[in-house]
Each structure stands twice: as C-alpha cells, then as structure tokens.
C-alpha cells in the first residue's frame, strides 16, 4: 500500500499526456523540497551508484519512516521528492514491502529515465528499503 501523497502524484500524472509535462512536474516537486543541511551531506548519507551527487537522511519518527535528501541534479532532486511521497509516513515494514519499481512504473518513470538515472534511482530505493528493513527488526 502506498501513501496518499504518492497516490496524488499518480492522479496528477494521469492528467498529463506528454512526458515532458511529467518531467517538468518531477522537477517542480524537487524544487519545492527544503535543501538538506550541509551538516548531513557526509559520506554516511551519500548514495553510491548515482551519476550525480545524492544524499539521503532517513529516520524513524513516531514509528514511521521519514527521510530528507538532496541531489545536485534537478531531475534527481525530483526523484527524491517522488520517493518521499512514496515512503514518508509509512511504517518500516510497509516501506520494505513496497515494490517501488512497479509503483514508479505507474508514473511511467521506468520508461523515460536514462540507464544511469535508473541505476541511481535503484540505488536510492535500495538504501531506503535497507534502512526500513533494519529498522523493523
């Protein structure tokens, strides 16, 4: 089960026929995020496997996963924002159980990202789901 915030993105994407419009929406979602504090841009939060610089800072708050992140690439910042909508606020066991590839496929992202961006997105998902699995033990 995905979050209501992610379902809103799915609904919004259904009204956008053109991939360019969807791409712009992803970028706007990224621009709307608060920047990650420089103190959190450290090797421990850096995601390896991304073509751009990416930092994710996941936490458990009141039994739910919440994470912040940032990238130096606009589209990747947008992808982080989409992942935040997918995962934030859910219990760790639900985060770990989500088939992120299938959910992101509902947005058409799987078909429109370069191989490098897809690899980076996979690395971000693996980091977040690994965090969730380790937090639900």
Q: Is 50 a known active-site residue?
A: yes
CA–CA separation, 7 vs 61, rounded Å? Answer: 22
CATH 3.90.1010.10 fits 4-136, yes or no: yes
| DSSP states of the chain | ---HHHHHHHHHHHT--SHHHHHHHHHHHHHTSPPPPGGG-STTTBPTT-SS-EEEEEEEETTEEEEEEEESSHHHHHHHHHHHHHHTTS-HHHHHH--HHHHHHTTTHHHHS-HHHHHHHHHHHHHHHHHHHHHH-
Residue 89's region, left for phi above 0, alpha for psi from -120 to 50, else beta, is: left
CA–CA separation, 8 vs 119, rounded Å? Answer: 25
Domain layout of the chain by residue ranges: 4-136
**pLDDT-based confidence at residue 50 (cuts at 50, 70, 90):** confident
Residue 99, number of CB atoms within 10 A of its CB: 10
| Active-site hit among 25, 27, 47, 50 | 50
pLDDT digits (tens, 9 = 90+) for 111-121: 788 888 889 99
pLDDT digits (tens, 9 = 90+) for 55-110: 999 999 999 999 999 999 999 999 999 999 999 999 999 999 999 989 998 998 77
């Amino acid at each position: 089960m995905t979050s209501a915030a992610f379902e809103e993105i799915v609904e919004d994407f259904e009204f956008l026929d053109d991939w360019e419009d969807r791409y712009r929406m992803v970028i706007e979602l990224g621009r709307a995020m608060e920047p990650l504090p420089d103190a959190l841009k450290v090797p421990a939060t850096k995601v390896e496997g991304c073509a751009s610089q990416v930092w994710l800072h996941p936490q458990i708050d009141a039994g739910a996963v919440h994470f912040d992140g940032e990238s130096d690439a606009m589209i990747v910042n947008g992808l982080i924002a989409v992942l935040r909508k997918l995962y934030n606020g859910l219990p760790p066991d639900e985060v770990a159980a989500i088939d992120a590839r299938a959910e992101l496929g509902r947005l058409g992202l799987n078909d429109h990202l370069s191989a490098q961006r897809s690899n980076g997105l996979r690395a971000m998902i693996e980091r977040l789901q690994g965090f969730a699995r380790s937090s639900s033990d």
